[in-house]
Amino acid sequence: MLLADLVAASQAVAATRSRLAKRHALADALRQAGPEAALVAGYLSGTVRQRRTGLGWHSLETLPAPADAPTLTVAEVDAALESLAALSGSGSQARRTAAVADLFGRATPAEQRFLRLLVLGELRQGALDSLMLDAVAEAASVPLAAVRRAAMFSGETGPVAVAALTGAEAALAAFTLAVGTPVRPMLASAAPDLAGALERLGGEVAVDAKLDGIRIQVHRRGREVVVFTRSLDDITARLPEVVEATRGLGGGDLVLDGEAIALLADGRPRPFQETAARTMSSADVTALREQVPVTTVFFDVLHVAGQDLLDTPAGTRFAALGEVAPGDLVVPRLLTEDPGAAADFYARTLAGGHEGVVVKSLDAPYEAGRRGAAWVKVKPRHTLDLVVLAVEWGSGRRSGTLSNIHLGAADGAGGFVMLGKTFKGMTDEMLAWQTERFLALETHREGHVVHVRPEQVVEIAFDGVQRSPRYPGGVALRFARVLRYREDKPAAEADTLEAVRVLAGL
Ligand SMILES: Nc1ncnc2c1ncn2[C@@H]1O[C@H](COP(=O)(O)OP(=O)(O)OP(=O)(O)O)[C@@H](O)[C@H]1O
């Protein structure tokens, strides 16, 4: 497939705000790509990023004269980006510059623009992953459910696109849960209070403590244990306690879902940052482990000894978890249909220093990768997970640091809408960290404002939402302040403008 065709498809997707029209444009591109659909799916959903090539906007400021006619193929571009990503060691800077000049020199003006945005991670035509899955189903004329199911086992959309287009439903059915390969975790929806959550689910439910740690998905095959994060990164080396705790369980091969959390001697949680620090680096694990040991807590099981439990009702899965894991490794949980008992449990959980509860249906399957209705979280404090769009250089005591952050909510079509700014709540350590982080994400500058790739999620507390003509979404946050940066949440899962409007009762 020619790069020019991919550019045309990208422009067609970007040109419309209608989800249906975007889906048709993507489906056309996938059909045209055939066996190269994996590449096309990767490029059009923006999963191929600057991170891989190590190129910043500085290196793309002056580009060579463009070519007159389109000759570059998508496969050639991919190979060139791969080899750029592999460059390291002495002299790699010069080789990188030469490779960039060669690639861009063979591109037409429109292709140069596309490549520049692609490499900088700014190609946001709104092809979110869920939309790409819709397009795959359309292009291959297969049921969407079959595509979604394959994607939850595959982690990446590319191989699913190729299977759907070349082998239809039969090829999609070959994607199953494999012990050792992570599946996308099930996510929760939110209710404003406990009564709302109980009403939504009805009847007997499980009320779980919501522990403010790090989501872990643990796979055990024989003696081998692998620990994955919420975003499916392998962090086994960082959490030896989890590996040891899992080795000691019964039940043959296992896939478990849970939380790793640093607790004090009395069982109350340590500050979230301390748990998070344990998952950031695999250096000095032994020393870190001595200072801040983490406790392993499981709340679900997806596979036991050759049997997949994803489609088994939660009540049965929870009973299976009780059989393989001792009580101290299972989340505090109450099975009840009595709102009074649920309220007592919620109050006790909060008194124990925990974040809230997750109310779970006992009949539901494990809906991997979905923010489903079967898990409803309830927290006393409302927060939003927003994306940093730009940062301003600080003044006075903060001069030399990037301080005031511009906050964006997802617009539901792959872009972000600004809701306000804040420089509140940041510790000196956070300021130092964010300065480095946002310089690495920089795309361009306007005066004292540094624009960044919208990739960093930040958890924000606020006192309310008000109508505001100043911001494009028509709403702004009152007294927004930073609680913490979230390393475990991709920008695509940030809170949406729609969710913010609902909060504001608009
Ligand atoms: N008992 C529990 N059951 C399910 N998830 C739990 C539980 N205790 C803690 N959690 C955490 O809560 C998260 C579920 O909430 P949600 O799906 O909204 O994810 P999130 O967006 O990361 O939420 P939040 O920002 O509230 O932590 C899980 O990812 C998990 O890390």
Query: How far apart are the C-alpha atoms of 52 and 36, rounded to whole Å?
Result: 20
- Point out the ligand 1 atom lying closest to the alpha carbon of residue 488: 22
Query: How far apart are the C-alpha atoms of 157 and 259, rounded to whole Å?
Result: 26
SS3 278: helix
Q: Are 259 and 331 in contact (CB under 8 A)?
A: yes
Unique residue bearing structure tokens 């499981």: 298
Pick from 268, 251, 418: nearest CA to 326: 251
Q: Which of 210, 298, 300 to mutate to test the pocket of ligand 1 (most atoms within 8 A of CB)?
A: 210
Which residues contact residue 263 at a Cβ distance below 8 angstroms, ignoring those fewer than 6 apart? 269, 270, 295
Query: How far apart are the C-alpha atoms of 449 and 402, rounded to whole Å?
Result: 9
Q: What is the model's pTM? A: 0.75
Kindly list the distances between the CA atom of residue 56 and the CA atoms of 46, 87, 394, 415, in Å, as whole numbers in the listed order: 16, 15, 23, 21
CATH of the domain at 169: 1.10.3260.10
Is 168 domain-assigned? yes
Do residues 161 and 268 both lie within one domain? no
Do residues 398 and 339 both lie within one domain? no
Query: How far apart are the C-alpha atoms of 259 and 120, rounded to whole Å?
Result: 34
Do residues 370 and 391 both lie within one domain? no
Q: Among 329, 362, 378, which residue terminates a domain? A: 378
Pick from 217, 240, 237, 212: nearest CA to 229: 217
Which of these is catalytic: 210, 360, 379, 421? Answer: 210
Is 180 domain-assigned? no
**Ligand 1 touching residue 377 (CB < 6 A):** yes
Is 214 domain-assigned? yes
**Sheet of 214-221: strands edge to edge?**
224-228, 214-221, 254-262, 294-304, 307-308
Do residues 135 and 196 both lie within one domain? no
Is 182 domain-assigned? no
- Point out the ligand 1 atom lying closest to the alpha carbon of residue 493: 21
Do residues 282 and 396 both lie within one domain? no
Q: What is this model's ipTM?
A: 0.94
Do residues 123 and 222 both lie within one domain? no
Query: How far apart are the C-alpha atoms of 460 and 483, rounded to whole Å?
Result: 5
**Residue 254, CB half-sphere, CA atoms under 13 Å: how many?**
29
Do residues 343 and 256 both lie within one domain? yes
**Centroid of ligand 1 to alpha carbon of 482 (angstroms):** 19
Pick from 61, 63, 58, 53: nearest CA to 105: 63
Q: In sequence order, what E strands does 327-441 have? A: 333-336, 356-361, 371-378, 383-393, 402-410, 416-422
Do residues 367 and 387 both lie within one domain? no
- In order along its 506 residues, the chain shows pLDDT tens digits of 999 999 998 888 888 878 899 899 999 999 998 888 888 888 887 655 444 666 766 677 778 889 999 999 999 998 888 888 787 777 877 888 888 889 999 999 999 998 888 877 666 665 577 888 999 999 999 999 999 889 888 877 888 999 999 998 999 999 999 999 999 899 998 887 899 999 999 999 999 999 999 999 999 999 999 999 988 889 999 999 999 999 999 889 999 999 999 999 999 999 888 898 898 877 889 999 999 999 999 999 999 988 999 999 999 999 999 999 999 999 999 999 999 999 999 999 999 999 999 999 999 999 877 777 899 999 887 789 999 999 999 998 899 999 999 999 998 777 899 999 999 999 888 999 999 999 999 989 999 999 999 999 999 998 778 888 888 888 888 889 999 999 888 888 899 998 888 766 66
Q: Which of 215, 301, 362 to mutate to test the pocket of ligand 1 (most atoms within 8 A of CB)?
A: 215
Pick from 122, 110, 16, 33: nearest CA to 74: 33
Is 181 domain-assigned? no
In which domain, by residue range, is 429 found? 382-504
Do residues 321 and 456 both lie within one domain? no
Is 21 domain-assigned? yes
Do residues 387 and 371 both lie within one domain? no
**Ligand 1 touching residue 272 (CB < 6 A):** no
Q: Among 143, 174, 205, which residue terminates a domain? A: 174
Q: Which residues pair with 451 in a beta bridge?
A: 390, 444
Q: Among 317, 345, 378, which residue terminates a domain? A: 378
CATH of the domain at 478: 2.40.50.140
CATH of the domain at 235: 3.30.470.30
Count of structural domains within the chain: 3
**Centroid of ligand 1 to alpha carbon of 210 (angstroms):** 7
Q: Is 385 annotated as a binding residue?
A: no
- Point out the ligand 1 atom lying closest to the alpha carbon of residue 333: 1
**Centroid of ligand 1 to alpha carbon of 187 (angstroms):** 7
Is 122 domain-assigned? yes
Q: Are 72 and 6 in contact (CB under 8 A)?
A: no
Longest CA–CA span in the chain (Å) reads 73
Do residues 144 and 238 both lie within one domain? no
Is 113 domain-assigned? yes
Active site residue 210: yes
**Centroid of ligand 1 to alpha carbon of 376 (angstroms):** 10
Do residues 363 and 387 both lie within one domain? no
